[in-house]
């Protein structure tokens, strides 16, 4: 397929578990040839994101994480078997693919699948509030659309809370905080620096077993940033 040719809304998984992604999709998702890719499972579909790290670190990370693959220079990439099983995707069958808000999403193609416009209407609101961020040196860079949605600016202080066993929450600092649902104050807070980076306290990184190079699922719920380790 030529780079400017309009891509189809489906891909075919070959007999080795590979799919070939359109150059146009890769370009708009800012994915480079021969890049290392993190797959992130999210509800009824999954997303891919390019990650960067030293070859030694990536080799170690790939042994620990079976959702990391390399895309070749032609755009071929193997979909992890665990994702094919979760989404009931078989070899040599068509799967749906969409580009929404610079994210490439894959989903099980069924007869009852919604039309393109309805599918976009269903998924786009979720992707508008979701960002997949790589943690580097204990920090994540918050995208402008998330800052704008929460009316956050650099040098603002955010306080951290825990929720359940797999989630941390950040919100604007308040001197008085009343118990809210199942949020528990950690007594930790950090300032959003001039580069729009937020330091995740080590205590909370340990709580979620977050390491440098991991991908975090960061989304907006109400007035909060909800942070989970992507799996």
Percent of the chain with pLDDT over 70: 79
Average pLDDT estimate for 51-57: 66
When comparing pLDDT for 230 and 2, which is higher? Answer: 230
CATH 3.40.1550.20 location in the chain: 10-128
Q: In CATH, what number does 10-128 get?
A: 3.40.1550.20
Please enumerate, as own/partner, the contacts of 153-157 that have beta carbons within 8 Å and a separation of 24 or more: 153/192, 154/192, 154/193, 154/194, 154/195, 154/196, 155/191, 155/192, 155/193, 155/194, 156/191, 156/192, 157/189, 157/190, 157/191, 157/192
When comparing pLDDT for 55 and 188, which is higher? Answer: 188
Out of 63-77, 87-101, 152-166, 174-188, least confident range: 174-188
Burial of 170 (0-12, 13-18, 19+ CB in 10 A): buried
pTM for the whole structure: 0.67
Average pLDDT estimate for 40-59: 76
Element (H, E) at 146: helix 144-149
Confidence tier at 67 by pLDDT (50, 70, 90)? confident
The pLDDT of residue 110 is 74
Phi, psi of 70 (to 5 degrees): -105, 135
Confidence tier at 1 by pLDDT (50, 70, 90)? very low
């Amino acid at each position: 397929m030529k780079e400017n040719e309009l891509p189809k809304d489906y891909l075919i998984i070959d007999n080795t578990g590979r799919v070939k992604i359109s150059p146009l999709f890769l370009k708009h998702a800012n994915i480079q040839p021969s890049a290392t890719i993190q797959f992130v499972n999210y509800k009824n579909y999954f997303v891919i994101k390019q990650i960067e790290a030293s070859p030694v670190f990536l080799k170690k990370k790939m042994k620990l994480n079976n959702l990391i693959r390399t895309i070749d220079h032609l755009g071929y990439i193997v979909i992890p078997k665990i994702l094919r099983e979760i989404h009931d995707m078989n070899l040599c069958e068509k799967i749906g693919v969409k580009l929404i808000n610079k994210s490439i999403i894959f989903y099980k193609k069924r007869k009852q699948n919604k039309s393109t416009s309805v599918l976009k209407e269903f998924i786009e609101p979720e992707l508008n509030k979701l960002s997949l961020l790589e943690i580097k040196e204990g920090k994540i860079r918050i995208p402008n659309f998330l800052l704008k949605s929460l009316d956050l600016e650099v040098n603002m202080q955010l306080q951290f809370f825990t929720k359940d066993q797999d989630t941390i929450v950040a919100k604007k600092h308040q001197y008085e905080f009343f118990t809210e649902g199942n949020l528990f104050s950690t007594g930790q807070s950090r300032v959003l620096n001039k580069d729009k980076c937020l330091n995740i306290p080590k205590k909370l990184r340990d709580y979620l077993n977050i390491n440098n190079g991991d991908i975090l699922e960061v989304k907006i719920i109400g007035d909060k940033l909800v942070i989970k380790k992507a799996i």
